[in-house]
Structure 1
Amino acid sequence: MAVPKHIKGGATRPLVVTLIVILVIAALGFAYASPYIALNNLKRAADARDVQTVNQYVDFPALRESLKQQVTGLLTRRLDAHSNGNPLAAIGAMIGVALIGPLVDAYATPDGVAALLNGMPPRGDPGERPPAPPAANPPPDAGAPSPAPAAPAAPATANAGNDNATPAQPPQTTAGYRGLNEFVVTYQHGAGDARYSAIFQREGVFTWKLAAVNLNE
């Protein structure tokens, strides 16, 4: 016996509503998580110096303008702090102001983005540049003779008093929304240390780009 059409429609309607609700919840969840995904993708790309992917997640004109303002403010505060003290320090700060352009150019790059996302912001020092990526180890030559065995490593206690031997600790990182269209990642190396933040701006619904920094968080 055939099932009436109105019964078929009534049976499928709850299923359609359920699917719509599931899709809406999934879209909202993805929208909420999208800046965290963008941050993760950008950090991986920057660490790998994947320029094409970095360009997808960074608004370089906006970041360049933000770096210029932030570094200018950083050096201005430094100049004010030393204006009544050591004149040589004030001269050094003024020299730093003259070098803002090259510093901004150096940090508005994939190397600079990698430094920002790894707890190494610009300090406003003359000639400062972000750290270069680690050199890749060349593949071993199959025809080359095997290297001689390395000498035994010195005991760990030999360098116990050398502070430079202590590896740098990763910064403490917090991330979260500061509004519907702004997502902020804050970095701090330890209690009492200066903090700074990387600021992502929303573009569209699911797209986020690194667009600014705050060096006086």
Structure 2
Amino acid sequence: MTLQKRIWDLIVLAIFVFAAAFATAPWFAFRALKAAAQYEDVQAIGELVDFPAVRRSLTAELVPAAPASQPEPPSIWRDPLSVFKQAVEPIAPPEPKVDRYLTVAGVAALTRGYAPGKAPPASTQDVTASGRIKDMVKGPFPQIAYWDPNRARIAVKRPDGSGKVTIFTFERRALFTWRLVHIRLPGDERQG
């Protein structure tokens, strides 16, 4: 084999390794988020999550749906008490409770596919080699639901077999740096 052929093979291998690392970086970011939440590493979670963006997205999901048609506003001549009641009520709806989703325990439950506060306790980790292999093999596994060079969505199915899926959206911030910017909850947990 000539030197030129070996150099060409190394270049092709380097391109393949770079492409594989670039394509799998969001999945590794999700795994890092899951491990950081499991071990309560607040600093790592802060580096992996864009909290203002996630808070905005969860707030939008948890706001109750507006009614299709608004009733006619009360008239001061027909119903003066209703006019007074409407003037005293707050104009904006109260802020939804997204804090339970953005705690360490909430993020840990979401990365496992559960709603915050409804996840079973994490099993104690077996430090033996066979125990680590069993923990790696048991599901459910996160799946890449969508991928493009700047955004990736990772779906986590609920382990109880109910078919509910939580979707994490990661956005690329640097060549291999991805941050969580959105969490899409299962349909029955929205508007809560």
TM-score, reference length from structure 1: 0.55
Taking the aligned partners of 1:202 and 1:46, their CA distance within structure 2 comes to: 20
Q: In the alignment, which residue of structure 2 is the partner of 1:32?
A: 23
The structure with the larger Rg is 1
Taking the aligned partners of 2:118 and 2:186, their CA distance within structure 1 comes to: 19
Asked if residue 13 in structure 1 is aligned to residue 4 in structure 2, the reply is yes
Check conservation: 1:119, 1:188, Cα contact below 8 A: yes
Indicate which of 135, 141, 156 corresponds to 1:186: 156
Q: 1:191 to 1:45 in 2, by over 3 A?
A: closer
Residue 112 of structure 1 and its aligned partner are, at CA, apart by 2.3
Indicate which of 160, 172, 186 corresponds to 1:202: 172
Taking the aligned partners of 1:27 and 1:208, their CA distance within structure 2 comes to: 16
Taking the aligned partners of 1:27 and 1:177, their CA distance within structure 2 comes to: 22
Q: 1:44 to 1:120 in 2, by over 3 A?
A: same
Residue 213 of structure 1 and its aligned partner are, at CA, apart by 1.2
Q: In the alignment, which residue of structure 1 is the partner of 2:53?
A: 62
Over residues 61-114 of structure 1, what are the superposed CA-to-partner deviations in whole Å (9 max), with x where a residue is unaligned? Answer: 111111111111xx338x89xxxxxxxxxxxxxxxx6351xx223322323211
Query: How many percent identity over aligned positions?
Result: 27
Q: Which runs of 5+ in 1 are unaligned?
A: 1-10, 81-96, 123-128, 135-169
Could you say what secondary structure the match of 2:12 adopts?
helix
Taking the aligned partners of 2:106 and 2:154, their CA distance within structure 1 comes to: 18
Asked if residue 105 in structure 1 is aligned to residue 99 in structure 2, the reply is yes
Residue 121 of structure 1 and its aligned partner are, at CA, apart by 2.6
Amino acid at match of 2:157: Y
TM-score, reference length from structure 2: 0.62
Amino acid at match of 2:143: A
Q: 1:25 to 1:63 in 2, by over 3 A?
A: same
Q: 1:109 to 1:130 in 2, by over 3 A?
A: farther
Q: Which runs of 5+ in 2 are unaligned?
A: 69-92, 123-137, 188-192
Amino acid at match of 2:38: D
Amino acid at match of 1:34: A
Taking the aligned partners of 1:196 and 1:19, their CA distance within structure 2 comes to: 40
Query: How many pairs does the alignment contain?
Result: 145
